[in-house]
Structure 1
Amino acid sequence: MKLHLSAPSNTLFKSNIKITGSKSESNRLLLLQALFPSVTIKNLSNSDDAEVMQKGLQISNGIVDIHHAGTAMRFLTAYFASQPGKEVTLTGSQRMTERPIKVLVEALKELGADITYLKNDGYPPIKIKGQKLVEHKVSLPADISSQYISALLLIAPRLENGLELELVGKITSVPYIKMTLGLLSQIGVESSFEGNTIRVFPKDAIAPKTLVVESDWSSASYFYSIAALSEVGSEIELSAYKKDSLQGDSVLSEIYKSFGVDSIFKENQVVLKKVGSEIPEPIEIDLSNAPDIAQTIAVTCFGLGVGCHLTGLHTLKIKETDRLEALKTELTKLGATISVTDKCLTLSPSETMNSEIAIDTYNDHRMAMAFAPLALKTSLFINDAEVVSKSYPDFWNDMKALKIKVGK
């Protein structure tokens, strides 16, 4: 599906948007619910990834196809490895078979897991025979994707001896690790995080507990971008959000002050208010702790004619696509001057913006949504626009609610 986007007649917004529950929180809680059935979840994400996770957890034997869902691949690998009697083949899309899983598999094997690669060493598909994991000490490189780390932490309370996880080197995904530990704490699991060592203590059962998933801050980023590109005085109210969020991407509320957007927190809501119109100086941001908002920020900067230097982006090479190269290709088509390495992006200030350009999305939901706010500045096309269903199925309807012109 190819969509054509163009600006509304009025870019002074006064809107209310309700965003689905966080995909990251939802998938963590779904795994914990499978381990502790007394957990009840409210405001669960309606994303494809959460749906795939739910379906995967219901399978005991046979093939589990997680399509493009990287989080589900990592989390389900750990889950099935720790479940005696379950035997599955875990596979996914062509792109998923190119995304490495070896670091996690080797760590699980050290704990006693029985996992076999079916095609290429270190990559899905994999065959998993569930085992009782009795070892409790393992180490991982500290600079890998936090999903590998969280996968181990989530199964840890049901391991006979819990888990002691040593992270070797400089840790780059602390907010996502703290999110996982925070959710464990909310259901009564004890843990500690001192230096580079994380300990999770065993727990046989928990009392009935209802947890409400906060809405997704990554999804909120696109509305921050719209607010930044809108007229002074615009207000976009998003729910359901809280100031003391577990999500690392909540750093948006600080970052977007540079673009003239204030965040006003109310009960379960945040109001994005455009208060300034001055074009900021080129900005430098280390996004090691929030790489998923890099695409949004780069596009915002281009839309405002601002330069930026974004670092800490090494994990973007192994996402749904190589996000750094994809950003370079698509922003260049629009007229940007941009360079990337394996871990950073540099965008020069630009007054040029081409129109009627078709943005390719590379099977990546964030490419589609990150570029959509540019409709306030130029008309453009989004190819394979349905890819947004991976994390935010209602996205295009919410764009229409803002009166942004969305047509085929």
Structure 2
Amino acid sequence: MKAVLTSKNIKELSATIQVSGSKSESNRLLILQSLFSNLKTENLSESDDTMVLQKALLSNQGEVDIHHAGTAMRFLTAYFATQQDASVVLTGSERMQQRPIKILVDALRDLGAEIKYLKIDGYPPISISGKKIIKQKVSIAGNVSSQYISALLLIAPSLQNGLTINIEKSVTSAPYLHMTISLLQKIGVSCDFSENSIEVKPLSEIKNTAILIESDWSSASYFYSIVALSEASNITLRGYFKDSLQGDSILATIYETLGVTTQYNKEDASITLSKNNKPIADHVLLNLADAPDIAQTIAVTCFGLGLGCKLTGLHTLKIKETDRLLALQTELKKLGAKISVSNDTLVLMVSEKIKEHITIQTYKDHRMAMAFAPLALKKTIKIDDAGVVSKSFPTYWEDIQKVGINVNFK
């Protein structure tokens, strides 16, 4: 399904949008809910990834296919490895079978888990036979993916002796790690993070607990981009807190320099994004090591505004749904951008024109589709495989139409 996007030519964009719960918070809480049944949640994410994880947690036998859901692969590897009655083959899409999992598997094996590779060492699919884990200390590298550490943290309180995790090398995407720790503490888990070590005490049960999941800040990024690229806007997004657990909430600070002001409305837990007329620098320099999921949105926004940018700290983008750095380079070049990428850096030169009627390939990556869509405020643009947005934001196309972008499917 291809989407053809055009602007409705509305002078001032205005809408109120309800964004579903954070995928990151939802997926962590689903694992905890499976371990502690008296945990309840509200505003669970409607994303494909969360639905896939929910379904997977209903079975602990046979093949479990998580498709493109990378978070589910990491979290379920640790979860099933510690469930004594589990015997599963954990697999996924062709791309998922190219995404490494060795660091996590090695750590779990060190704890005594029984995990076997079925095709290529270090990559899914894997066979897992759940075992009782008694060992209480493990070391793991922190510079590849914080999800490996989060996977261990989530199962730690359910282990007989708890778990102490020694983190080697600096942690990438650190806010996601702090999110996991904060959620553990919210349900009553004793979790002590000091230096490069995290100690989690065992917990047999928790008090009846209900957690309201904040709306997804990664999803909010596309509306920040729309406001930045508009002439005038006033868009309200529901379900957001000023004291957020999500690292992507840094959007509010970043986009202030790109012409977007964020107003927090405590009474109804919402934010209002409005276009400001403050001077914008012609070059943006950002280290996004703690918020890599918003890199695509920021790069496209800068291109649409005719700005240059240098984005660093992007090494994790090469092992996502696609090699996001290469995909950004390819698709932005088609639109007329001068851009270069390396292992962890994207450099975009100032651009004067945007080519029209270009078809953007999404590479089965939801964020490619959503990041490029706001350019419709500047030129007619086509998005191939538009249905891919369901991975994290199923109502995306409906919601951007409410804001002021025409979406026609062909």
Bin for the TM-score computed over the shorter chain: over 0.9
Q: Which moved more, 1:8-17 or 1:179-188?
A: 8-17
Matches within 5 A, 1:6-405: 6-232=6-232, 234-267=233-266, 268-276=269-277, 278-405=279-406
CA contact (8 A) 1:259 1:276 kept: no
Paired amino acid for 1:104:
L
- Once the two structures are TM-superposed, the CA of residue 357 in structure 1 deviates from its matched residue by 0.2
- Once the two structures are TM-superposed, the CA of residue 45 in structure 1 deviates from its matched residue by 0.4
Give the SS at the match of 2:20: coil
Cα distance in 2, alignment partners of residues 260 and 400 from structure 1: 22
- Once the two structures are TM-superposed, the CA of residue 220 in structure 1 deviates from its matched residue by 0.2
Paired amino acid for 2:248:
D
Cα distance in 1, alignment partners of residues 305 and 174 from structure 2: 30
Cα distance in 2, alignment partners of residues 399 and 255 from structure 1: 21
Cα distance in 2, alignment partners of residues 72 and 372 from structure 1: 27
Give the SS at the match of 1:259: coil
- Once the two structures are TM-superposed, the CA of residue 277 in structure 1 deviates from its matched residue by 5.7
1:296-344 deviation line (CA, Å, top 9, x unaligned): 0000000000000000000000000000000000000000000000101
CA 1:200–1:15 in 2, change beyond 3 Å: closer, same or farther? same
Paired amino acid for 1:89:
V
Cα distance in 1, alignment partners of residues 192 and 77 from structure 2: 24
Give the SS at the match of 2:175: helix
Cα distance in 2, alignment partners of residues 312 and 196 from structure 1: 20
- Once the two structures are TM-superposed, the CA of residue 223 in structure 1 deviates from its matched residue by 0.3
Cα distance in 1, alignment partners of residues 242 and 396 from structure 2: 23
Paired amino acid for 2:209:
K
Cα distance in 2, alignment partners of residues 263 and 255 from structure 1: 11
Cα distance in 2, alignment partners of residues 278 and 303 from structure 1: 16
CA 1:357–1:263 in 2, change beyond 3 Å: closer, same or farther? same
1:338-396 deviation line (CA, Å, top 9, x unaligned): 00001010000100210000000000000000000000011010000000000000000
| TM-score of the aligned structures, taking structure 1 as reference length | 0.99
CA contact (8 A) 2:34 2:57 kept: yes
- Once the two structures are TM-superposed, the CA of residue 11 in structure 1 deviates from its matched residue by 4.3
Unaligned runs of 5+ in 1: none
Paired amino acid for 1:252:
L
- Once the two structures are TM-superposed, the CA of residue 146 in structure 1 deviates from its matched residue by 1.1
Q: Which runs of 4+ in 1 moved over 4 A?
A: none
Q: Which moved more, 1:295-304 or 1:261-270?
A: 261-270
- Once the two structures are TM-superposed, the CA of residue 108 in structure 1 deviates from its matched residue by 0.3
Unaligned runs of 5+ in 2: none
Give the SS at the match of 2:264: strand
Paired amino acid for 1:254:
T
Cα distance in 2, alignment partners of residues 32 and 191 from structure 1: 14
Identical-pair percentage: 57
Paired amino acid for 2:220:
A
CA contact (8 A) 1:11 1:376 kept: no
Cα distance in 2, alignment partners of residues 266 and 106 from structure 1: 46
| TM-score of the aligned structures, taking structure 2 as reference length | 0.98
CA contact (8 A) 1:97 1:125 kept: yes
Aligned CA-pair RMSD? 0.8
Cα distance in 1, alignment partners of residues 278 and 244 from structure 2: 28
How many residue pairs align between the two structures? Answer: 407
